[in-house]
Amino acid sequence: MPSKTKSKSKKKSSNVERLETAGVLVSEQFTDDDKKTVEKLSETEVTALIKLRKKRGSAPEGKHHLRPNIFV
């Protein structure tokens, strides 16, 4: 017989929270619309972004980045 003790379900983190914790984004730099966009990411997409972050680090903010001009 299943226990009647109700375990409190842990509140699921939002995508923004998870990605910020993983260092993928800085939420202060995101508008509300941006955040809504991020919340629509699927679980697979969020996981892929977190894995990428772990592998490669992050780019410095506020810098004019040089594009690699990789082409097909």
Partner 1 sequence: MNSLNHSKRLRAKIRLAEPYLLDVSDQFWTHPQLAEMFPEFLFMMHSIIRSSVSLINAAAVSAQRRADLDPVSQKIVSYYTTHALEEAHHDDWLLEDIVAMGADRSDVLARLPSPTIASLVGAQYYWALHVHPVSLFGYLAVLEGNPSSVKHLSKIRTKHGLPAEGMRTMVKHARLDPYHRDEIYAQLDELPLTENLSELVALSAFHTIEHIAQALQEILDAHRNEEVIEEATAQAV
Decide: 25 and 19 in contact? Cβ < 8 Å.
yes
User: Sign of the CA dihedral 27, 32, 33, 38?
Assistant: positive
Q: Is 56 in the site for partner 1 (CB under 8 A)?
A: yes
Decide: 15 and 38 in contact? Cβ < 8 Å.
yes
3-state helix, strand, coil in the chain (%, to 5): 45, 0, 55
CB of 12 to partner 1, least distance (A): 18
Q: Is 65 in the site for partner 1 (CB under 8 A)?
A: yes
Binding pattern to partner 1, positions 11-50, x when CB under 8 A?
--------x----xx--------x-xxxxxxx-xx--xx-
Between 12 and 71, whose beta carbon lies closer to partner 1? 71
Q: How many residues does the chain have?
A: 72
Residues that bind partner 1 (CB under 8 A): 19, 24-25, 34, 36-42, 44-45, 48-49, 52-53, 55-60, 63, 65-72
